[in-house]
Structure 1
Amino acid sequence: MKYEGYLIDLDGTMYNGGTVIEGAIDFIDRLNKAAIPYVFLTNNATKTQTEAAQKLIDMGFDIHPRTLYTSAMTTAAYLKAEFPGASVHVIGTSGLSSTLEAAGCVLTDENPDFVVMGLDTALTYEKLAHGARLISAGAKFISTNPDRKFPSDEGFLPGNGSLVSVLASTTDVEPIVIGKPKGIILEAAVKALGLSKDKVILVGDNYDTDIRTGLDNGVATLHVNTGVTSREQVKTQERQPEHMIDQLSEWSVE
């Protein structure tokens, strides 16, 4: 079947850390040549839209920043729509903070309405302790994404989901999860494509986030065995992706 639009994961699908995955640039070039629209749908909340796009451009991808849709952007859109002007304490990068601030959130370290947590590679015990105190005092808890791990040049590293579990365990408060596999990020990305779900396919390497996003929300899925979940691990799942390949070079866009 020919799909009219693509939702494409980044980490483990386009690149691992600072290394482009074989066939990824050619895959995007083929989509561009065929004038098939796509959106990069990523749970990575560490960068702004422009920063996330620049990483791809610097790696040699011919893309436009508007094609990037991150869990940080989805979190910002959620708060803007449901809690405009909310005060937020951020555990995460400056990219996450600036994305939330641009959506009208008021950043604060004291008595916030929300504690929003994204991957923070400079995470410290004090940051976790302060977040736990704020949540225990009544702040609502948001996790930008549930990823337990992500691939890098050095192998798998702890993801936001693993670190969020520390606060959840400490406070006995389960966070509102925004990113994949939740429907909120999928609906926003499909809307950006301007297509109905039956004409779209989601491409990713992580069964628990990418593939479940499609399976749970009515979008076809293509699992690429270049990142988190291996072919053997996918095969053990009760629900299977519509398609599975080892390399993007195996997939025809037309």
Structure 2
Amino acid sequence: MGIPQQRHSRQRTPADIECWLTDMDGVLVHENQVIPGAAELLRRWSEAGQRFLVLTNNSIYTPRDLCARLKASGLDVPEESLWTSALATAEFLKRQQPGGRAFVIGEAGLTTALHEAGFVLTDRDPDYVVLGETRTYSFEAITRAIRLILDGARFIATNPDPTGPSAEGLLPATGAVAALITAATHRAPYVVGKPNPMMFRSALNRIDAHSETTAMIGDRMDTDIIAGMEAGLHTILVYSGITTAADVARFPFRPDEAFDSVADLAALLGEPRELRQP
């Protein structure tokens, strides 16, 4: 569908954008299939020498794993251009308590990030219980987490997503398991991933970017756009994922620009243009 053009009072031109953050699922890929225009967009950034990061709330995979998975789908994204909620969580905890101890429920993406941040992973007297994504949540591990939190460990979650996709349908995810632990302990976790703008600020630091000259591309108003807005970024919504054009009116905030997909953005990069709002 066509999106009407409208001038915005806080107009920024493409020349103002020096760095880019983009969500992965629903923006660049959908169920392991590349979204048209994604490869072209990445190529334009690389050719222009613009710094960028691909963000995901998924904490299962290491950047190397994600790089290989994206390459198999047809996208060439360097490891250093991938930023996950696991990496953001490890960076946050490293600043909070260098050399700390953590009991972790999660996969290699999270455990590797915490190891590299200098944390000791243990189930004996940890400073933190860190909950991430896994396809095999263990009742025994959840029970241990509950007891450790009640004994004083601080509760951290990589992301708030209650469900995740699979070939068979939706699966319970980090947010759902966090709710179970909260119900048992009366302790809510500190959530590092989107929509916490903390994840975006850590991404900006990663590529030495400034909020005034960085744009965020996302497919969800309730995570990507609100977090980008709160982090002071130029926000771009694409309708190739979760949020539809009809959904936007339900929210009390707006993205700075909106496009059907990244194909439209790739075609317009480098050309003078007006902001395109929903």
Shorter-chain TM-score category?
A: over 0.9
8 A Cα contact 1:16 1:153, kept in partner: no
Aligned with residue 130 of structure 2, among 92, 116, 126: 116
8 A Cα contact 1:46 1:94, kept in partner: yes
Per the alignment, do residues 32 and 152 of structure 1 end up closer, same or farther by CA in structure 2, a change over 3 Å counting?
farther
Deviation at 1:183, TM superposition (A): 2.6
Per the alignment, do residues 50 and 156 of structure 1 end up closer, same or farther by CA in structure 2, a change over 3 Å counting?
same
Aligned with residue 236 of structure 1, among 247, 250, 268: 250
Per the alignment, do residues 208 and 150 of structure 1 end up closer, same or farther by CA in structure 2, a change over 3 Å counting?
farther
Tell me the secondary structure at the aligned position of residue 193 of structure 2: coil
Per the alignment, do residues 154 and 205 of structure 1 end up closer, same or farther by CA in structure 2, a change over 3 Å counting?
farther
CA distance in 2, matches of 1:110, 1:196: 40
User: Which residue number in structure 1 is paired with residue 274 of structure 2?
Assistant: none
Per the alignment, do residues 168 and 157 of structure 1 end up closer, same or farther by CA in structure 2, a change over 3 Å counting?
same
Alignment of structure 1 residues 184-223 onto 2, 5 Å: 184-223=198-237
Q: Deviations over 1:145-172 (max 9, x none)?
A: 1123345566654432222211112211
Which residue identity lines up with residue 23 of structure 2 in the other structure? D
Per the alignment, do residues 248 and 151 of structure 1 end up closer, same or farther by CA in structure 2, a change over 3 Å counting?
farther
CA distance in 2, matches of 1:191, 1:102: 18
Deviation at 1:87, TM superposition (A): 1.0
Per the alignment, do residues 232 and 153 of structure 1 end up closer, same or farther by CA in structure 2, a change over 3 Å counting?
farther
User: Which residue number in structure 2 is paired with residue 253 of structure 1?
Assistant: 269
User: Which residue number in structure 2 is paired with residue 76 of structure 1?
Assistant: 90
The TM-score normalised by the length of structure 1 is 0.92
Aligned with residue 31 of structure 2, among 8, 14, 17: 17
8 A Cα contact 1:205 1:226, kept in partner: yes
8 A Cα contact 2:128 2:155, kept in partner: yes
Tell me the secondary structure at the aligned position of residue 6 of structure 1: strand
- Indicate whether 1:57 and 2:71 are aligned: yes
Tell me the secondary structure at the aligned position of residue 232 of structure 1: coil
User: Which residue number in structure 2 is paired with residue 176 of structure 1?
Assistant: 190
Per the alignment, do residues 135 and 73 of structure 1 end up closer, same or farther by CA in structure 2, a change over 3 Å counting?
same
State which drifts further: 113-122 or 39-48: 39-48
CA distance in 1, matches of 2:263, 2:205: 27
User: Which residue number in structure 2 is paired with residue 106 of structure 1?
Assistant: 120
CA distance in 2, matches of 1:206, 1:169: 27
Which residue identity lines up with residue 128 of structure 1 in the other structure? I
User: Which residue number in structure 2 is paired with residue 148 of structure 1?
Assistant: 162
User: Which residue number in structure 1 is paired with residue 173 of structure 2?
Assistant: 159
Q: Deviations over 1:66-98 (max 9, x none)?
A: 111111111111111211111111111122112
User: Which residue number in structure 2 is paired with residue 38 of structure 1?
Assistant: 52
RMSD: 1.8
8 A Cα contact 2:134 2:173, kept in partner: no
State which drifts further: 206-215 or 188-197: 188-197
Instruction: Structure 1 unaligned segments of length 5 or more: list them.
Output: none
Per the alignment, do residues 224 and 148 of structure 1 end up closer, same or farther by CA in structure 2, a change over 3 Å counting?
farther
Deviation at 1:139, TM superposition (A): 0.9
Tell me the secondary structure at the aligned position of residue 38 of structure 1: strand
CA distance in 2, matches of 1:53, 1:6: 18
Q: Percent identity?
A: 34
Deviation at 1:175, TM superposition (A): 0.5
CA distance in 2, matches of 1:91, 1:18: 25
Per the alignment, do residues 150 and 26 of structure 1 end up closer, same or farther by CA in structure 2, a change over 3 Å counting?
farther
Which residue identity lines up with residue 8 of structure 1 in the other structure? T
